[in-house]
């Protein structure tokens, strides 16, 4: 790749220079501390200490080696969070061989899976038996894949059985591959809200730096029990959560799927201290929270990321859980995912801000001429540092478009206040230009969301013959309410300028989301354009 990388070196003071070294340190220094709680294909829920996790990774590496995997091979994982323990041990086992891990989105359709596997040059596919039918359909299209490994019962006989491979491995036959900090650890797929996903190439140094940045931003402690339902195939699940926990030697609890009641039951059972979720998770959680049933006294921190958090939800969280610190984090897969954070003491006084740079990250809001924006002026959010990707896999054009002038240009618009704190405005493509006026969809969403009968809202542009674009809102009503479009417009009149008030308001049962919880605005734009609001 000929791109001008926005990376910086991992500080020399960092002793652990690759992902595996984080686990090995844990096995050496606190072997009996609980490291991982999650599901397994064969054993249901498992609870592994750091020494057990290290041993499982070593055995997984031997098992993969016996299946023919070697250094630099691209290994794709088609596994859900129901197999979280398998996921982590197989992924890290592959890395121990020097292989490159390619997490696959389990919600992709066949065409999306085939594209991702082919475009990322995958040679081996490890999959959950639940996806056997999908894999059978994919096989004729996967000319590069020569190794199929299945977990659980019901897999095709053509696949190697993971239980058998793992059962015959001893974990001590060979040492690890020569893994440097510059070795590629994984290729994470972008969320793919528009078109096919791109592969974000991240090195072991990127990964270690990500763990340091996020654990610092969250103030994680070795005594923390960190719980989340983010899928492991996302950068939030695989890097943000897991690497930050391993960096400080804490405990990671991985939920199989998000369920608000199960989330609260998990917090009660595990004595969880830190929870990470998308904004929708907290909305649903507050609807079912019952202090007489759910004991959340162990929680010290709620972190929200993955999507912008409505101001009213933050206020409600603050009021419902007055003793819990609220932290906003902002980042993107191309940076590990790292970026900025807003500490809890500023959650209300700087409501709506995404804060300032995480440790090791250098984040700014710039004009096109590379000069900083003035307070209140909108610019593009850019960043650089050791967490930033090497580039997009086999996509030099996209790499050069994203990384230039020494910065990663995020495509996100922001502004800063007089104290230098960053505020996310919108995605570039989500700005609505109505009759020459720029309108932030997020600003309109915040206004609509304040209506007491609105549970969720998403705002997109709709084509307009004379104005170019107009404002269209998709609204989910709260149960047993009958708020009308005119009610919402009247409510907005004292909150936003008249040209920002949505002329088109459609009521829906739910909003389309990708697996990380982000609302798929491209789907809503298509619905609005085609006149389908179902």
**Residue pLDDT, tens place only, 329-387:** 999 999 999 999 999 999 999 998 999 999 999 999 999 899 999 999 999 999 999 99
The DSSP H or E segment spanning 285 is helix 279-288
What are the CB-based long-range contacts (under 8 Å, 24+) for 343-350?
344/301, 346/421, 347/314, 347/318, 348/314, 348/315, 348/318, 350/417, 350/419, 350/421
Q: What is the pLDDT averaged over residues 505-511? A: 95
pLDDT of residue 109: 79
Whether 398 and 392 have beta carbons less than 8 Å apart is answered as: yes
Q: What backbone phi and psi angles, to 5 degrees, belong to 304?
A: -125, 135
pLDDT of residue 5: 53
Q: Is pLDDT above 70 for 2?
A: no
pLDDT of residue 423: 94
The percentage of the chain sitting over the pLDDT mark of 70, rounded to a whole number, equals 95
pLDDT of residue 6: 59
pLDDT of residue 180: 92
Half-sphere exposure of 161 (CA within 13 A, CB side): 11
pLDDT of residue 210: 98
Cβ neighbours of 436 (radius 10 Å): 8
Domains of the chain: 62-179 (3.40.50.980), 216-427 (3.40.50.12780), 435-530 (3.30.300.30)
Q: What is the pLDDT averaged over residues 63-74? A: 96
How do residues 218-270 score in pLDDT, each as one tens digit?
A: 999 999 999 999 999 999 999 999 999 999 999 999 999 999 999 999 999 99
Regarding predicted confidence, which is higher, 104 or 280? 104
Tokens of residue 182, six digits:
């510059």
Q: What is the pLDDT averaged over residues 90-110? A: 93
pLDDT band at 9 (very low <50, low <70, confident <90, very high): confident
Q: Is pLDDT above 60 for 194?
A: no
Rounded Cα distance, 395 and 376, in Å: 35
The DSSP H or E segment spanning 456 is strand 454-464
Q: Is pLDDT above 50 for 141?
A: yes
pLDDT band at 3 (very low <50, low <70, confident <90, very high): very low
Q: Which residues contact 111 (CB under 8 A, 6 or more apart)?
A: none
Report CA dihedral (215, 356, 460, 492) to the nearest 10 degrees.
Answer: 120
Q: Is pLDDT above 90 for 504?
A: yes
Tokens of residue 496, six digits:
């936003």
94 alpha-carbon distance from chain centroid:
22
The DSSP H or E segment spanning 251 is strand 251-254
Rounded Cα distance, 51 and 171, in Å: 13
Regarding predicted confidence, which is higher, 521 or 193? 521
pLDDT band at 530 (very low <50, low <70, confident <90, very high): confident
How do 362-366 and 379-384 pair as beta strands? antiparallel
How do residues 387-400 score in pLDDT, each as one tens digit?
A: 999 999 999 999 99
pLDDT of residue 490: 95
pLDDT of residue 7: 59
Rounded Cα distance, 160 and 149, in Å: 5
Q: Is pLDDT above 80 for 192?
A: no
How do residues 286-341 score in pLDDT, each as one tens digit?
A: 999 999 999 999 999 999 987 667 888 899 999 999 999 999 999 999 999 999 99
Average pLDDT, the chain: 91
DSSP state of 513: B
pLDDT band at 406 (very low <50, low <70, confident <90, very high): confident
DSSP state of 35: E
Of 1-5, 44-48, 443-447, which range is least confident?
1-5
Rounded Cα distance, 420 and 416, in Å: 5
pLDDT of residue 432: 87
Whether 431 and 380 have beta carbons less than 8 Å apart is answered as: no
Rounded Cα distance, 24 and 158, in Å: 35
Q: Is pLDDT above 80 for 116?
A: yes
The percentage of the chain sitting over the pLDDT mark of 90, rounded to a whole number, equals 75
How do residues 154-185 score in pLDDT, each as one tens digit?
A: 777 789 999 999 999 987 767 677 899 999 99
């Amino acid at each position: 790749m000929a791109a001008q990388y926005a990376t910086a070196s991992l500080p020399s003071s960092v002793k652990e220079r690759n992902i595996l070294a984080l686990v090995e340190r844990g096995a050496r220094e606190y072997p009996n501390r609980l490291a991982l709680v999650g599901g397994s294909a064969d054993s249901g829920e498992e609870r592994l200490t750091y020494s057990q996790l290290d041993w499982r990774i070593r055995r997984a590496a031997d098992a993969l080696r016996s299946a023919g995997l070697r250094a630099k091979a691209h290994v794709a994982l088609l596994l859900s969070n129901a197999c979280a323990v398998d996921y982590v041990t197989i992924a890290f086992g592959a890395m121990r061989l020097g292989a490159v891990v390619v997490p696959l989105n389990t919600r992709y359709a066949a065409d999306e899976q085939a594209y991702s596997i082919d475009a990322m040059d995958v040679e081996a596919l490890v999959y959950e038996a639940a996806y056997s039918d999908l894999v059978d359909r994919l096989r004729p299209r996967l000319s590069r894949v020569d190794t199929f490994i299945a977990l659980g019962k019901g897999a095709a006989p053509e696949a190697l059985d993971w239980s058998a491979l793992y059962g015959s491995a001893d974990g001590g036959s060979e040492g690890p591959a020569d893994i440097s900090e510059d070795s590629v650890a994984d290729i994470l797929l972008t969320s793919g809200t528009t078109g096919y996903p791109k592969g974000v190439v991240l090195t072991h140094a990127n990964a270690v730096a990500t763990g340091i940045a996020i654990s610092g931003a969250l103030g994680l402690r070795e005594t923390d029990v960190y719980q989340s339902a983010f899928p492991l195939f996302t950068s939030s699940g695989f890097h943000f959560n897991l690497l930050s926990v391993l960096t400080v030697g804490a405990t990671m609890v991985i939920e199989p799927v998000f369920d608000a009641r199960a989330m609260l039951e998990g917090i009660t059972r595990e004595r969880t201290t830190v929870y990470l979720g998308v904004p929708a998770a907290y909305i649903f959680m507050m609807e079912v929270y019952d202090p007489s049933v759910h004991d959340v006294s162990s929680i010290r921190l709620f972190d929200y990321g993955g999507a912008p958090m409505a101001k009213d939800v933050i206020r409600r969280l603050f009021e419902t859980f007055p003793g819990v610190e609220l932290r906003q984090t902002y980042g993107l897969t191309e940076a590990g995912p790292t970026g900025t954070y807003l500490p809890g003491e500023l959650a209300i006084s700087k409501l709506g801000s995404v804060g300032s740079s995480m440790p090791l990250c250098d984040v700014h809001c710039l004009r096109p001429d590379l000069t900083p924006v003035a307070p209140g002026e909108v610019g593009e959010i850019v960043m650089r540092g050791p967490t930033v990707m090497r580039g997009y896999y086999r996509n030099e054009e996209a790499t050069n478009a994203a990384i230039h002038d020494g910065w990663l240009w995020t495509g996100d618009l922001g502004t800063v206040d007089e104290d230098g704190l960053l505020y996310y405005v919108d995605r570039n493509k989500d700005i609505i230009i109505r009759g020459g006026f720029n309108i932030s969809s997020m600003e309109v969403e915040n206004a609509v969301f304040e209506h007491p009968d609105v549970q969720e809202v998403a705002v997109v542009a709709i084509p307009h013959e004379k104005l170019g674009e107009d404002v269209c809102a998709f609204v989910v009503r709260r149960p047993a309410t009958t708020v009308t479009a005119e009610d919402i417009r009247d409510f907005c009149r004292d909150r936003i300028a008249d040209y920002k008030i949505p002329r088109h308001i459609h009521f829906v049962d739910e909003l389309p989301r990708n697996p990380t919880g982000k609302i798929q605005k491209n789907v809503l734009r298509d619905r609005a354009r085609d006149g389908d609001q179902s």
